[in-house]
Each structure stands twice: as C-alpha cells, then as structure tokens.
Structure 1
C-alpha cells in the first residue's frame, strides 16, 4: 500500500520508516492543528494508530473530534502548570501561540491575532490520564515559541516517547535542548524545520534517519500538498474520490483493530461453538 504523506516536511515518512513494523501504535501530538492539512499523524491514524491531540483552537479542535473519533482530543495547551494562559490565536494558520513575545511579534506584523484565555495542562498529567501505560512511539511538539515550558511539564523519567520531534526556528537559538538530552535522549537530526531526538533505549532506530525521504519509501504526497503540482478538475475529483475510499478503508481497519470489534468477534465464535 503506497504511503500517502500529509506532513509539511516529510515528517510522517521519516516516522513511518522507523516505526512501520509496529501495529496499533500510539502518538502524542502537541499543537495538532488541522486533522489533515500538514498533519504529522494523519497517515498513522489511517493505518489504525491512535493517540492524544492537544489543540486549543476551537475550529481545529472541532475538526479533530469529528475526523478522529478514535483519538483523544483535548482543548487545551501543554505547559508546566495548570494555570490559564493567553492564547494569541491566528485563525486558519498553524501560527497560534501562547508565547507572549511571539504573539506580540505577529501582532506587530499585522497578522489577524485574537487573544483568548485557554486552559493549560502538563504533559505529565495528560499522560497519567490518557496514555494508560502504553508505549508512546512518538511525541510531536509544534507550539511556536512555547517549547521550553511544554518540556518542563513532562516527566521523561516515567513517560518515554521513543521519538521526539520538535519544530524549531531556523536560527536554532533555543535554550531548551538540554531538557531533552539530559532526560536520556540523543539529538539525531535537524531537517530544516524540526529537531529530532531518540530515546537512548531506542537508538537502534537511528539508521532510519541516515538519509532523507526518497523514492524507496514508496510514498505519494496527498492531494493539495504544498509541494505537489497543480492538477485538473477531473484529476482533483478522482483524487478526492480515492481519498474518500482510502479514508473509509482506514476507518474500517481502525474499527477492526479496536478492542470492541475483537470482543464482538470472540463472542460470535463462542456462540457458533455453543
């Protein structure tokens, strides 16, 4: 099955290369944004994976709840405390932030910034409630300048994502990287947008990051991807129909992989034997 990439910088291809041998995997997406456009987790959800989406913007939260019924979606921001924070929301973009300096910069640039109060939670509390001792195969953080505060709210001694990818600025002048490396992670890649870390106990996955995504990964870009070429109306309609079919197939696989489905199948077999 050809891998359809939705992420803006091939992040999902790199992750799939490292993790495709695992079924029913689990992820945490902090700053999940749109469930499809530029999504790092969409391709995984379509293959039966599930996870936790942390997204404060109402429109994206609603879309995630509707399109990702098997995920846990939380309308909040991740932080180092449970104090309410001011969100500098920029509708229709992935540029919303709770970092005051970043919010003020984007206001000064003339962006359509809306301030609102949002709830905050630590990643530790989120994991305690929703991870349920499951292995966390990857943690993605895209929080527009709020990275250090998010990381300070995570107990990496207890919760050990195998792979962490954090969107970082071009200048890479961040001061928080030691919070990850001191917790037993190795920085293995900067891809131009994200810094990638591997847990020391999963350094066997490092070869997956040696080369950039290529044709050997057997992938296609999703319809409408920023790096794809323009297509005709007929091609767009065909691609949309194929996407709907793939989405339906993915939903069926996710349902078949669910505990409820498996329980029903066991009950049917028991009734037949009885």
Structure 2
C-alpha cells in the first residue's frame, strides 16, 4: 500500500521506514498542532497506531479530540514542572510558543500574538498516567524555543522513546542537546528542520536513516501538501472548483483512513480468522 505523507519535511516517511514492521505502535507528539496539516503522526494513526498529543491551543485541541478518538489528547504544555504558565498563541499557525523572547520576536515581525494561561505538565507525569508500561516508539517535540524546558521534565531513565526528533534552529545554536545525549541517545541526523536521536539500545534502526526519503519508500504527498501546490495562481472559478474537489477528496481520504484502521484492528482480524476456520470446517 502506498504510504501517504502528511509531515512537513518527510519526517513520517523516515519514521515509517524504521518502524513499519510494528503494528499498533505508540507515539508522543509534543506540540501536536493540527491533526492533519504538517502532522508527523497522522499517517501512523491511519495505520492503526495511537499515542499522546500535547496541544495547548483550543482549536487544535478540539480538532485532535474529534479526529483522533484513539489518541489521548491533553490540553497543556510540556515543561520541567507543573503549574500555570503564560502561553503565547499565534492563531492558525504552528508558531505558538511558551518562550516570551520568541513571542516578542514574532510580535515584532507583525504577527498577532495572544497571551493566555495554560496548564504545564512534565512529560514524566504524562507518561506515568498514559504510558506507564508500554514502549514509546517515537517522541516528536516541536515547541518553538521551549525545547530545553520540555526535555528537563522527562525522566529518560524510566521512559525511553526509541526515536526522538526535535525541531531545531537551522544554525543549530541550541544548548539543550547534551540533555538527550547524556541520557543515552546518539544524534544521527539533522534533516534541515529536525535533529534526530536514537536510543543506544535501538541503534540497530540506524540504517533506516542513512539515505533521505526516495521513490523506494513508495509514498505520496497528501493532497494540499505545501510541496504539492501548483505554482500558478488559479482563477476564482478554478479556485472554487478546486476547493470543492479538495473537500470531496478529503472526505474520501478520511473514509479510506477509517476503513484501513478498522481493517487493522485486532477484533476484525480475529473475526476474519474465525470465518476462515469455519469455512474449512
């Protein structure tokens, strides 16, 4: 089956190459944002996986709850200690942040920044509550300058994601990388947007990251992906037609995803096996 990629920079293609042999895997998405657009986890959810989404913005939180019923979606930010904190939301973007310096920089650029109070929780507490005894196949962190505080709230001795990917400045002038490497992870890749780490006990997965995504991965970009947009500006009539077509195709893709998830469920497969047995009897 062709893999449909939703992620901004082919992150889901790289992850799928490394982890596709695992059914019903588990992820943690810190800064989950939209459940579809630029989502690293959407394709995995469609293939029967589930996980924890950490998302403070109300509209994205509501959409995740509605469209990801198997997931646990928590309306908070991840931090190094619990409590109430100020969060700086930039509507309809993935640029919201808990870092006041980053928020001011974006306000200076003319962006609309709205401050409000949200709950902060540590990743350790989220894992204790929602993933106490299961493998975490990957942890994705996209928090716009708040990375170090998120990492300081994770007990990597108790909870060890196999793969960690963290959105990283292009200059790679961050100071937090030692928090990951000192916890028993190796930095294996910078893809231009994210730094990737493998747990020492899962370095056997490293060959999956040796070459960039390519035609051998048998993937397609989802409809509406930024890299699949036409270069010309359509006329108003063409825009309306394209919008209607896109909406219809989106509904079809959603139905196909739901069917695929149903077909992947243990219950359905068990019933199919039983029917096969009865036919042979």
When normalised by structure 2's length, the TM-score is: 0.89
1:247 paired to 2:248: no
SS at match of 1:227: helix
SS at match of 2:104: helix
- Corresponding position of 2:189: 189
- Cα offset, 1:104, TM superposition: 1.3
Contact 1:223 1:240 in 2 (8 A): no
- Cα offset, 1:146, TM superposition: 0.2
Partner Cα distance (2:209, 2:243) in 1: 33
* Structure 1 unaligned blocks of 5 or more: none
- Corresponding position of 1:62: 62
Partner Cα distance (1:219, 1:236) in 2: 24
Contact 2:263 2:269 in 1 (8 A): no
- Corresponding position of 2:35: 35
* Structure 2 unaligned blocks of 5 or more: none
Partner Cα distance (2:246, 2:18) in 1: 28
What count of residue pairs does the alignment treat as equivalent?
Answer: 268
Partner Cα distance (1:219, 1:240) in 2: 22
- Corresponding position of 1:78: 78
Contact 2:262 2:268 in 1 (8 A): no
Partner Cα distance (1:239, 1:217) in 2: 25
1:16 paired to 2:39: no
- Corresponding position of 2:210: 210
The alignment's C-alpha RMSD in Å is: 2.2
SS at match of 1:196: strand
1:136 paired to 2:170: no
Contact 1:223 1:236 in 2 (8 A): no
Contact 2:123 2:153 in 1 (8 A): yes
Give deviations 1:139-185, integer Å, cap 9, x for gaps: 00000000000000000001010000000011111111000000000
1:224 paired to 2:224: yes
Partner Cα distance (1:119, 1:171) in 2: 31
Give deviations 1:179-218, integer Å, cap 9, x for gaps: 0000000000000000000000000000111111111111
The 1:101/1:168 distance shift into structure 2, 3 A limit, reads: same
Contact 1:48 1:250 in 2 (8 A): no
